[in-house]
Structure 1
């Protein structure tokens, strides 16, 4: 009787143990949710959808997109960090604002503790556009007008603390002018703002490309290291005399505490997606250059970029007051 009881206990214990061990091996067994912290239709949304579709084929499960905009791209990742289980079924695109905003104000997350970094993917081509019907033909026109009318030049950005916002403020500082930022939730809204001349300028990623191609918006500059092959007539910041480059690289992360085996499966699937010709074509369409880093290198990058951003934020006087 004792031996039979011991055997039954052992079998029961094994039955409980096997599913736990098998979880990482069987993952994924259901659809995965990818949070994109920007509205649908922008350049980030469109490229991340292409990447997710390719990765889903490798994983054997669909990846559902959840557009959770707000907070300069931080609401989605912050919500995931606070409430999602670390089981690999909820992950998010992480924009630079996740690392930058804690330097500017009190937030309920800590980039060094609250995320599991999976893979670093790419970066943006940012540019400054204006209505084709507006008065500005070049960036120098903007500078001249702003010097004569301090604070009257308005520009749309996807939010306070985003790279377009911080980048424009640094450019304004270097140019000796004062601009007025008008925050929105993402590229669709910033496009509408400058197209309707509700703001005089727009600083954002290449979600504006169709409007530039159609001749409705005028591209005054790009923030890349060299001229974009898609916009060869648009000068870079360096060509305009500003020794800076902004590409706001981004990646994918999950909540803290994820199983390393699950992280590895997600990493490998998204790494393969970067080599997919369809993804390469989509990235090229929106001037996004692959910028791959594995999970460990991504974690190291977070430490480095946070310190780098701290210096810029402090120089601009945007740091939070202790």
Structure 2
């Protein structure tokens, strides 16, 4: 295939499958989480992975970065991390008598923000411009970020000691949120067996490169979204705003993210058009981290995933006929 050519839908789907299989070598029994990560990558989004320590959050992020042969950087978020550690800083060069920009950890194709909710809100906010506009501004100058650019942030539940909840504006920048969950018994046994042979992460070889990913994004953008599908997406998002169990519904950015993710879902299925099932399948993953439960829903121990899933069930799907 010509390196400059736009790949076909079949080529995009094949590479996406290979990336998923590569990640699965180090992450046993998590096909849904792996699929979501791949969808977010091709949809030009960012991924939030939330769960307790030790269930494979960082392993998923690192395996994805290795699989696409992109520059990957890891930022360990701690209470003393400064915004300039993330974005970069201008340093005065004594030799040239000029200020030089020293890029921070955000300058990479895949940025692994480990335990993002352990940093202060001020440092968390340093990611906002980068995630929304693929650039950072330092001392009045704007610096573009490498393409493709994806933030994979991991966080422990806010009940864990020493954490700060992510503000709503920050959470809204993430296209999707997944929870790893504890592995099945058979998967955990398989993990012990594979780790006995050495570090499995070192065995991952790239199955594609960032140039292909950037061109694949162009292919995905050409997937057709019919007006009736856009109307369905907006209807779903509006339903979260009217739900009696939610005091804050999903934002207009959520509609855009859901549409972009649905296009990737269609492309990975080999279709050049989106169907309602593409939207419904991703709606809970894309919307649930953006909403806030009412006090009554919290008292009833309902989760945002349960509420959004109920909304998706209640909203009629458009007739494809």
Same fold (TM over 0.5): no
Ranked by relative contact order (alpha carbons within 8 Å, sequence separation 6 or more), the top structure is 1
Q: TM-score, normalised by structure 2?
A: 0.28
Q: TM-score, normalised by structure 1?
A: 0.28
Select the structure of larger CA radius of gyration. 1
